[in-house]
Amino acid sequence: MRHKKISASAFIFAVLTAAIFCRAQSASTHLPAPMDWSAEQDHRNLMEQLGIKTLRPGADGMNPHAANYQNTDEAKANPYPDLPDPLTMKNREKVTTPEMWWQQRRPEIVEDFDHEVYGRVPKNVPKVTWEVTGIIRTNNGAVPVVTKHLVGHVDNSSYPPISVNIQLTLTTPANATGPVPVMLEFGFDFSRFFRGTNRFGGTNAFRGFGAFGGGLNWQQLVLSNGWGYAVIVPTSYQADNGAGLTKGIIGLCNRGQPRMPDDWGALRAWAWGASRALDYFETDPAVDAKQVGIEGLSRYGKATLVTMAYDPRFAIALVGSSGKGGAALFRRNFGEQVENLTGTGEYHWMAGNFLKYGGPLTPGDLPVDSHELIALCAPRPVFISYGAMSGHPGAEGTWVDQHGSFMAAIAAGPVYQLLGKKDLGVPGNYLTAPMPPINTALTNGDLAWRQHDGGHTDAPNWPAFLEWADRYIHGPLPVLRPLSQTQ
């Protein structure tokens, strides 16, 4: 008995010593947990880093009686009518050759977007390893398809407290006669809509599943072209809020600490994920990785344009209702403003440095504007899509600034022309060119434009997009053609 008693107290002593030892050990070798700030705390920290005392408030998009209700008066919409010239170097030299564009001017513009607007992708972003977690053979409409469920595991050995896994699905026609072109969509996480937080009243929530026009949804339209489609879930690797900036892929690279002012924001992070998906497509024999397009709506329309601008491997883009931070000119005051983007609800999309343009600087101080983001996509084809501003039941409204995006597309034109491509082809310049009527596609050029007569969705523009895209993207021979005709 006595012997047992001694060993019990010895055991307790040993456990206590071990616990104390482990605590001391963990203090020196274990990594701290990621910061757990609210968006407001993180936003304030960035303001402090930048020495910003106050930011101007953004516009109110909802209440017409509010003092700061969005401007919808075109006469007041251009407080900074002069845009930075994409074809004039910082040293004022004119860009006259494609070589000057590629070697000198384009890098200048990229640097400005990196430093001031969307932030830089860090050099140390860890590798992604793709795993096929499931393969499902099914039919989508009349077409037999193969859907692969994929997870992109990000190597987190540098900071194990954060794990990041990219969700992706890839669907290709089961009977394809060769590798197929693929449209990659930034997909909404539908679970948040089921919780009833869709501010658009459901117009875009189920668009991926809903039929329209001729009765086919976008996936079925794409399949009927002989292409495949893929959906990446951006929020699986970077949250759509400021509190998430010390987590996800941005947090992993910063070991759970807050961003520096030129670190990447969520748009750039989402675009990074799309590029990793394309890395995977390059390894999948079902996909023709030279013919992968990118598409998204609203905040994912912004991410679409950022992806296309930064990764030259994407062949074509459908930019849906991207608004401020996407195709709409920052310098415009119509609908959403730069000051909305610099507020606590949206600043996480951008680099920290972008806050400066919501106070003390102004949008007119930005070294670049969205026409230059579009120009970074040149010479590759870009289709800019919107709904109607007004005058149609369920119209999209003014928040997204359709006209400011049209102006940006026109002002990107000279770069397309310099590279031997066709611009939008409208008469006049970005300040004077009239917008085409609703439901009229401008698709003669390598920059294309269409406003449908509906709301905040790009679904009704898919047919026009695909008709235009057919000039650039070619699937393998259709399987339904009798063998005799293909020989």
Binding site for ligand GCU (CB under 6 A): 298-299, 323-325, 336, 340, 399
CB of 262 to ligand GCU, least distance (A): 22
CB of 192 to ligand GCU, least distance (A): 11
Please say which residue, 216 or 382, places its beta carbon nearer to ligand GCU.
Answer: 382
CB of 240 to ligand GCU, least distance (A): 9
3-class DSSP state for residue 29?
helix
Please say which residue, 173 or 301, places its beta carbon nearer to ligand GCU.
Answer: 301
> Prior bond to 360 cis, omega within 30?
yes
**Distance set, CA 328 to CA 246, 336, 386, 407 (Å):** 29, 9, 11, 8
CB of 324 to ligand GCU, least distance (A): 5
Rounded CA separation 407/42 (Å): 34
CB of 318 to ligand GCU, least distance (A): 15
Rounded CA separation 458/447 (Å): 17
Please say which residue, 295 or 336, places its beta carbon nearer to ligand GCU.
Answer: 336
Name 131's bridge partners.
151
DSSP secondary-structure letter at 472?
T
CB of 13 to ligand GCU, least distance (A): 60
Name 230's bridge partners.
170, 184
Please say which residue, 298 or 402, places its beta carbon nearer to ligand GCU.
Answer: 298
Whether residue 404 contacts residue 334, with contact meaning beta carbons closer than 8 Å, is answered with yes
Please say which residue, 259 or 299, places its beta carbon nearer to ligand GCU.
Answer: 299
Beta strands at 128-140 and 143-154: parallel, antiparallel or unpaired: antiparallel
Q: In what order do the strands lie in the sheet with 143-154?
A: 128-140, 143-154, 165-173, 228-233, 180-186, 287-297, 316-320, 382-386, 447-451
Please say which residue, 246 or 298, places its beta carbon nearer to ligand GCU.
Answer: 298
CB of 345 to ligand GCU, least distance (A): 8
Please say which residue, 230 or 341, places its beta carbon nearer to ligand GCU.
Answer: 341
Backbone phi and psi for residue 385, each to the nearest 5 degrees, phi listed first: -120, 140
Whether residue 447 contacts residue 413, with contact meaning beta carbons closer than 8 Å, is answered with yes
Handedness of CA 31, 37, 41, 47 (dihedral sign): positive
Q: What does R_g of the chain's alpha carbons equal in angstroms?
A: 25
Please say which residue, 114 or 336, places its beta carbon nearer to ligand GCU.
Answer: 336
Rounded CA separation 218/207 (Å): 9
Please say which residue, 143 or 374, places its beta carbon nearer to ligand GCU.
Answer: 374
Name 216's bridge partners.
212
CB of 212 to ligand GCU, least distance (A): 19
Whether residue 322 contacts residue 215, with contact meaning beta carbons closer than 8 Å, is answered with no
CB of 288 to ligand GCU, least distance (A): 30
Question: Any residues with CB less than 8 A from the CB of 115 and at least 6 apart, and which?
Answer: 262, 351, 353
Tokens of 430: 């970005």
CB of 461 to ligand GCU, least distance (A): 16
Of 140, 137, 163, give the one whose Cα is nearest residue 148.
137
Rounded CA separation 109/372 (Å): 7
To the nearest 10 degrees (0 to 180), the angle between helices 266-283 and 299-310 is 60
CB of 100 to ligand GCU, least distance (A): 34
Please say which residue, 71 or 298, places its beta carbon nearer to ligand GCU.
Answer: 298
Please say which residue, 70 or 171, places its beta carbon nearer to ligand GCU.
Answer: 70
CB of 394 to ligand GCU, least distance (A): 16
Please say which residue, 46 or 303, places its beta carbon nearer to ligand GCU.
Answer: 303
Q: Roughly how many angstroms between the first and final C-alpha of the chain, as a whole number?
A: 93
Rounded CA separation 168/468 (Å): 27
What DSSP string describes 372-437?
A: HHHHHHTTS-EEEEE--SSSSTT---STT-HHHHHHHHHHHHHHHHHTT------SS-TTTPPPPP
Please say which residue, 258 or 404, places its beta carbon nearer to ligand GCU.
Answer: 404
CB of 266 to ligand GCU, least distance (A): 11
Whether residue 326 contacts residue 338, with contact meaning beta carbons closer than 8 Å, is answered with no
